[in-house]
């Protein structure tokens, strides 16, 4: 049960006023000129000062109390055994923490008054290990932080603060640790948890604020907040999110801005007035209860904060608890709009499908991850995971699979096991908020007593089956009664929040013919409805396919589809289902829908047996689903065919026994319509049908996404036929899908239409916070901002962007569009908070009309935003690249095909390790290093040369010597020569030059205007009778450089960090250049090489080296094919899920020998 701590003096104070915590302990310690002796020989261990220089620590506490603070944190941020072990102090954890608490308690007592007590907050930092990444086990982290908490409790602290959480799994273990410490000590204290959101908008391991909140909310903690990493400006969106959705008290302890390197020291420039102004706004607008400071904040900062917030009353926030789950990365609503929550059933070894079971037994864990990612991409919201196999080690399998899925898929996991120890082990490995499947009362309280304590300890949700001591309930009345009984036990005896309980009314097959099961369908549906009515805060869930067990495959799918539809009508929230075996209702013939309904509802009104009618109908004949777009029969027109493909999400059709690609239909339509007319009159009309089906509940989100993919493919293909307006500077706009929303098809369509009508578009992508959008608008000096989003909550985020614009005094015209918006909401609700113009973009072409109106010379002066006085430097908020289009097949370039083909020294791959950086350094591009990596620019030529000669080249030479001496750079290469031929835009690569088998294909984009270049043109075509040669390389200078730069950054040696990081990156490029020269020599084409290395930097040689992600070969996915051919794992190079190379200082390339090869853009 949850413990009520509301009567503690600390929690009572939070009801009455805003509490102010102290500032940065480390910042304050640095103000003292302490020597190694002061640290007792443990220099750098601030926590040891509580024993060696207790007076200094007490003076720091007193300085903050004198500034007016209500509470101080103990000097124990790093006082765990993990951190103290670095100073050989791990045996003194309890002593240091207890003494720290006592020191702060003594000072607090001296400042306390009967009407205003002062508080001591026991600080527990994140340690130096991340359990989500396998650095330490959950149990070890728990024990470590329990030991620290025991010392703090005995030292007399009022509150335990788990702060600067960078890994949400560490936070979960810390909560369990402090709760264990409180039980062992017999003392109950309020617990605070503060996560750290980095500048990129997530915790260090990638957790968004919404996911962090969903994970922490179920725990018996009293305050959730933020601290460290950034200043208050960067925290704004996260604080606002907590204000909107957090049911607990909120704290905010920012740094004094972002650190800057001044003289080798971290310098924080946020002034006391600025910090105080932000904190005042956070209290008044977002309902923050506790304010304070972190790194860089001083008593002066906190004095001003006290002055600004001391008279403010706590804002009374009425927050409705959210039914949420979360992966390590993102939160997921249990109540989807429209329903259901789709729980993929394919990752289950107990189903009839052998695919997953064989992957588990074979230890093919990478294939399991790939399968999971496919399910996510296809629209699954949760993955049900069961690895039980009779006679085999379920615990081992669960550990292996969960370890990989937990940090590599973006949706929550449902842990499905009958063994309590397997559930416990899985939950220890899950950073997010999981669902446990399941509990029941078949053996009375036995299962609940074994499993539910783990549900509470790990903040999980739980599936409860309607089974009691008499077995599985058959009637709706019994199912509801069992649900109510379990509900009472879970909520009253264990404190499980109702929103974390998922009731499964358990349908039985209606296909057996047994009379007692004839009504299984209707009883289950009535039970779902009854549970929703009796227990409205809980979630209803069903394993859908049980209803049709034993039937023939096609008829099972039809019955499952109709049953799911009926269940949704009765209030079902979640379905465990193979979604690809569920048909949208509009695709099923109406007579078959009616046949299923009669069976489900056991309708014998017609005098016949509904089960026998069902079986007879499907027996001995082949049926198929149809589509609303197909009409009543006969040949479809081209307009009908395009709509059909779009609505049904089909990029390939079968017409008269022939497979037809979408592009063929588009080519046919182009004979009759312009590309814009096809989009505007046919495709957009089809998308409106999709929207209507979605809104009416006849089409679910995965089907919508399928349609969106077809739309995107069609528009990408048609784009090459759309004439761009002559004036390329007609106007500019920033487009963004707002924070929390991953839908971008509409926004990207607006991008294409605007771009092809002469506008410059900065497409920021999805999930963009307000700060990013506004910063990009200012940097690019745009004429308007476009906001997009599909979800209802996105409309609120759009309003937040307008509020932030208003607060900053900006007046950009804003276009807002998305499925959940209405003209009334945009023009009334959104416009009411913003002084600039707000426009409703009903569809993609409305965006063009609005922009044309904004840029009309007669109106521009009225609504254009103020131009910033100085153009700011570009930031990481770059426009997302649009898919490169492939030009029509009849476009060809004038590249000469009749060239001599060099003979390689071998075919296949080779690894080269005996490389010396002394040979590679001469190929270092110093201009790129100095200007791009080290940032030496913006000065006149003479000054630039002087700086290079007097300062930076000596630094470079010294750093080279250090790299050679310490072995920071470890050059390694894997390269190869492969027989190949071109086929249109494709390059066919053969495993062998003899039998031309085992091929791989690379497809490259072609320019859509002259000279129509395509990378494949530089190779002999397949019909030429010639066999060409492709060179491939992957080069790396190893991971040691990355490790050293991380150490430098951790030690605040930012200047050297910059130098070494830049040198390591350019050294990888130097290695690539060096090896490209070797390949030219081996191919016998180096006779054209420039005499000086500087000439090589200007491409004075035959052929070119093309890296993926740029110009001629933009498809990063092709890295997988290069990895297949070269196997660079052997030299320590890995491929990330985003197709990036690790270590960072690595690069891959196609090496082309053709004398006309050059770099070009599509």
In this predicted structure, the answer to whether residue 886 has a pLDDT above a threshold of 90 is no
**If pLDDT is split at 50, 70 and 90, which confidence band does 23 have?**
very high
**If pLDDT is split at 50, 70 and 90, which confidence band does 605 have?**
confident
Residue 446 CA neighbour count, 13 Å, CB half: 8
Provide the whole-model pTM: 0.67
Tens of pLDDT along 37-63?
889 888 889 999 999 999 999 999 999
- Quote the pLDDT of residue 871: 24
43: nearest Cα among 1, 77, 87: 87
Burial environment of residue 329 by CB neighbours within 10 A (0 to 12, 13 to 18, 19 or more): buried
Tens of pLDDT along 112-122?
999 999 999 99
Angstrom CA distances, 888 to 666, 904, 1001, stand at 11, 34, 19
Q: Are 182 and 153 in contact (CB under 8 A)?
A: yes
Structural domains in the chain, CATH included, are: 9-309 (3.20.20.330), 336-551+570-579 (3.20.20.20), 628-716 (1.10.1240.10), 728-863 (3.40.50.280), 908-913+969-1041+1066-1152 (3.10.196.10)
In this predicted structure, the answer to whether residue 727 has a pLDDT above a threshold of 80 is no
Lowest-confidence pick of 197-201, 207-211, 558-562 = 197-201
In this predicted structure, the answer to whether residue 542 has a pLDDT above a threshold of 90 is yes
**If pLDDT is split at 50, 70 and 90, which confidence band does 724 have?**
low
Tens of pLDDT along 737-790?
998 776 665 787 788 667 756 688 999 988 888 989 999 999 999 999 999 986
- Quote the pLDDT of residue 846: 78
Tens of pLDDT along 288-343?
999 999 999 999 999 999 999 999 999 999 898 999 999 999 999 999 877 899 99
Percent of the chain with pLDDT over 70: 90
CA angle 1066, 1068, 1071 (to 5 degrees): 110
- Separation of alpha carbons 483 and 495, rounded Å: 16
- Quote the pLDDT of residue 574: 97
- Quote the pLDDT of residue 701: 53
- Separation of alpha carbons 759 and 172, rounded Å: 49
Tens of pLDDT along 650-677?
888 877 778 889 999 999 999 999 888 8
For 1006-1014, what is the mean pLDDT? 85
- Separation of alpha carbons 592 and 781, rounded Å: 59
785: nearest Cα among 854, 727, 842: 854
Tens of pLDDT along 86-110?
999 999 999 999 999 999 999 999 9
Burial environment of residue 20 by CB neighbours within 10 A (0 to 12, 13 to 18, 19 or more): buried
- pLDDT: which is higher, 1110 or 50: 50
472: β partners? 467
- Separation of alpha carbons 963 and 952, rounded Å: 16
- Quote the pLDDT of residue 696: 62
Q: Are 150 and 189 in contact (CB under 8 A)?
A: no
Q: Are 831 and 805 in contact (CB under 8 A)?
A: no
- Quote the pLDDT of residue 859: 41
Q: Token match 């707000």: residue?
A: 838
- Quote the pLDDT of residue 694: 63
In this predicted structure, the answer to whether residue 1084 has a pLDDT above a threshold of 80 is yes
Question: Token pair for residue 754?
Answer: 């605007």
For 637-656, what is the mean pLDDT? 84
In this predicted structure, the answer to whether residue 1146 has a pLDDT above a threshold of 50 is yes
Burial environment of residue 492 by CB neighbours within 10 A (0 to 12, 13 to 18, 19 or more): exposed
DSSP label of 268: -
Neighbours of 1061 (CB within 10 A): 21
For 917-931, what is the mean pLDDT? 89
In this predicted structure, the answer to whether residue 1134 has a pLDDT above a threshold of 80 is yes
- Separation of alpha carbons 711 and 686, rounded Å: 9
Tens of pLDDT along 504-541?
999 999 987 787 888 999 999 999 999 999 999 999 99
Q: Are 44 and 52 in contact (CB under 8 A)?
A: no
- Quote the pLDDT of residue 657: 72
711: nearest Cα among 680, 755, 738, 735: 680
Percent of the chain with pLDDT over 90: 60
- Quote the pLDDT of residue 729: 54
Q: Are 267 and 293 in contact (CB under 8 A)?
A: no
């Amino acid at each position: 049960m949850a413990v009520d701590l509301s009567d503690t003096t600390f929690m009572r104070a939070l009801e009455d006023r805003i509490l102010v915590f102290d500032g940065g302990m480390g910042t304050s310690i640095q103000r003292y000129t302490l020597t190694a002796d002061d640290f007792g020989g443990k220099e750098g261990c601030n926590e040891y000062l509580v024993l060696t220089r207790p007076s200094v620590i007490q003076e720091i506490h007193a300085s903050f109390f004198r500034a007016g603070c209500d509470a101080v944190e103990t000097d124990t941020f790093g006082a765990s055994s993990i951190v103290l072990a670095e100073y050989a102090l791990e045996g003194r954890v309890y002593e240091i923490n207890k003494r720290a608490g006592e020191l702060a308690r003594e000072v607090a007592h001296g400042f306390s008054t009967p009407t205003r007590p002062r508080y001591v907050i026991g600080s527990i930092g994140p340690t130096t290990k991340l359990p989500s990444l396998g650095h330490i086990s959950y149990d070890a982290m728990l024990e470590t932080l329990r030991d620290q908490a025991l010392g703090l409790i005995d030292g007399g602290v009022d509150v335990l603060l788990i702060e600067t959480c960078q890994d949400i799994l560490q936070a979960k273990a810390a909560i369990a640790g402090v709760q264990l410490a409180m039980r062992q000590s017999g003392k109950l204290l309020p617990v605070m948890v503060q996560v750290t959101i980095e500048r990129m908008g997530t915790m260090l391991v990638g957790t968004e604020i919404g996911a962090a909140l969903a994970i922490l909310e179920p725990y018996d903690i009293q305050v959730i907040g933020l601290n460290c990493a950034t200043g208050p400006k960067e925290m704004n969106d996260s604080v606002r999110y907590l204000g909107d959705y957090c049911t607990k008290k909120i704290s905010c302890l920012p740094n004094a801005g972002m650190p800057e390197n001044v003289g080798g020291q971290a310098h924080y420039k946020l002034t006391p007035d600025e910090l105080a102004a932000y904190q005042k706004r956070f209290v008044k607008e977002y309902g923050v209860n506790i304010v304070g400071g972190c790194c860089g904040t001083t008593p002066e900062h906190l004095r001003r904060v006290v002055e600004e917030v001391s008279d403010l009353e706590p804002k009374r926030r009425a927050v409705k608890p959210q039914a949420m789950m979360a992966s390590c990365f993102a939160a997921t609503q249990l109540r989807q709009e429209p329903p259901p929550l789709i729980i993929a059933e394919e990752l289950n070894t107990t189903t009839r499908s052998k695919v997953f079971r064989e992957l588990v037994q074979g230890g093919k864990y990478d294939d399991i991850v790939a399968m999971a990612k496919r399910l996510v991409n296809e629209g699954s919201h949760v993955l049900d995971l069961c690895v039980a196999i009779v006679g085999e080690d379920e615990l081992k399998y669960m550990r292996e699979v969960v370890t990989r899925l937990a940090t590599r898929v973006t949706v929550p996991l449902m842990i499905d096991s009958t063994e309590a120890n397997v559930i416990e082990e899985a939950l220890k490995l899950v950073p997010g908020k999981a669902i446990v499947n399941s509990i029941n009362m078949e053996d009375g309280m036995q299962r609940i007593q074994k499993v539910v304590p783990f549900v509470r300890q790990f903040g999980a949700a739980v599936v409860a089956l309607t089974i009691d001591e008499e077995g599985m309930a058959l009637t709706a009345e019994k199912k509801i009664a069992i649900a109510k009984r379990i509900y009472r036990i879970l909520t009253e005896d264990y404190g499980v929040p109702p929103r974390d309980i998922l009731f499964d009314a358990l349908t039985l097959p209606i296909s057996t013919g047994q009379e007692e099961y004839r009504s299984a369908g209707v009883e289950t549906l009535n039970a779902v409805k009854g549970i929703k009515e009796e227990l409205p805060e809980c979630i209803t869930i069903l394993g859908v396919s049980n209803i049709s067990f034993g039937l023939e495959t096609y008829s099972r799918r039809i019955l499952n589809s109709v049953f799911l539809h009926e269940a949704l009508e009765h209030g079902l929230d979640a379905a465990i289902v193979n979604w690809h075996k569920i048909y949208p209702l509009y695709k099923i013939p109406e007579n078959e829908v009616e046949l299923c309904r009669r069976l489900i509802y056991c309708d014998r009104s017609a005098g016949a047996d509904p089960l026998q009618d069902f079986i007879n109908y499907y027996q001995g004949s082949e049926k198929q689903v149809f589509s609303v777009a197909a009409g009543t029969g006969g040949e479809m027109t081209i307009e009908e065919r395009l709509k059909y493909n779009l609505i049904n999400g089909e990029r390939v059709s079968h017409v008269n026994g022939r497979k037809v690609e979408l592009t063929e239909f588009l080519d046919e339509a182009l004979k009759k319509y312009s590309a814009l007319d096809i989009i505007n009159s046919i495709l957009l009309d089809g998308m409106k049908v999709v929207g209507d089906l979605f809104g009416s509940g006849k089409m679910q989100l995965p089907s919508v996404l399928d349609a969106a993919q077809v739309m995107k493919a069609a528009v990408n293909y048609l784009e090459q036929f759309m004439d761009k307006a002559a004036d390329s500077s007609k106007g500019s706009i920033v487009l963004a899908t707002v924070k929390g929303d991953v839908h971008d098809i509409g926004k990207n369509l607006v991008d294409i239409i605007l771009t092809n009508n002469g506008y410059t578009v900065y497409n920021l992508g999805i999930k963009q916070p307000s700060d990013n959008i506004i910063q990009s608008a200012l940097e690019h000096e745009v004429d308007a901002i476009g906001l997009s989003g599909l979800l209802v909550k996105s409309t609120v985020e759009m309003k937040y962007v307008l509020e932030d614009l208003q607060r900053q005094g900006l007046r950009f015209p804003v276009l807002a569009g998305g499925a959940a918006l209405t003209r009334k909401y945009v023009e009334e609700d959104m416009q009411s908070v913003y002084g600039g113009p707000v426009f409703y973009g009903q569809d993609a072409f409305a965006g063009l009309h609005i922009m044309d109106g904004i840029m009309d010379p007669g109106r521009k002066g009225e609504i254009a935003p103020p131009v910033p006085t100085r153009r700011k430097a570009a930031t990481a908020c770059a426009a997302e690249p649009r898919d490169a289009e492939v030009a029509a097949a009849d476009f060809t370039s004038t590249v000469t095909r009749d060239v001599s083909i060099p003979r390689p020294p071998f075919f296949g791959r080779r690894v080269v390790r005996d490389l010396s950086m002394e040979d590679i350094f001469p190929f270092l591009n110093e201009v790129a290093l100095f200007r791009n990596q080290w940032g030496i620019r913006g000065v006149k030529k003479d000054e630039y040369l002087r700086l290079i000669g007097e300062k930076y080249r000596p630094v470079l030479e010294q750093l080279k010597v250090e790299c050679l001496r310490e072995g920071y750079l470890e050059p390694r290469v894997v390269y190869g020569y492969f027989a190949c031929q071109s086929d249109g835009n494709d390059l066919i690569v053969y495993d062998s030059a003899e039998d031309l088998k085992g091929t791989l294909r690379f497809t490259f984009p072609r320019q859509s205007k002259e000279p129509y270049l395509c990378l494949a043109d530089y190779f002999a075509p397949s019909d030429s009778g010639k066999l060409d040669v492709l060179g491939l390389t992957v080069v790396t200078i190893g991971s040691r450089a990355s490790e050293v730069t991380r150490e430098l950054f951790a030690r605040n040696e930012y200047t050297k960090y910059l130098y070494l990081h830049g040198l390591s990156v350019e050294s990888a490029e130097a290695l690539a250049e060096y090896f490209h020269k070797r390949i030219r020599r081996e191919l016998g084409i180096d006779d054209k090489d420039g005499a000086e290395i500087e000439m090589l930097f200007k491409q004075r040689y035959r052929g070119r080296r093309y890296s993926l992600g740029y110009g001629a070969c933009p498809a990063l996915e092709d890295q997988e094919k290069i990895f297949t051919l070269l196997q660079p794992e052997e030299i320590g190079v890995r491929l990330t899920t985003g197709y990036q190379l690790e270590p960072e200082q690595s690069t891959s390339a196609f090496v082309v020998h053709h004398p006309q090869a050059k770099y070009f853009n599509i």
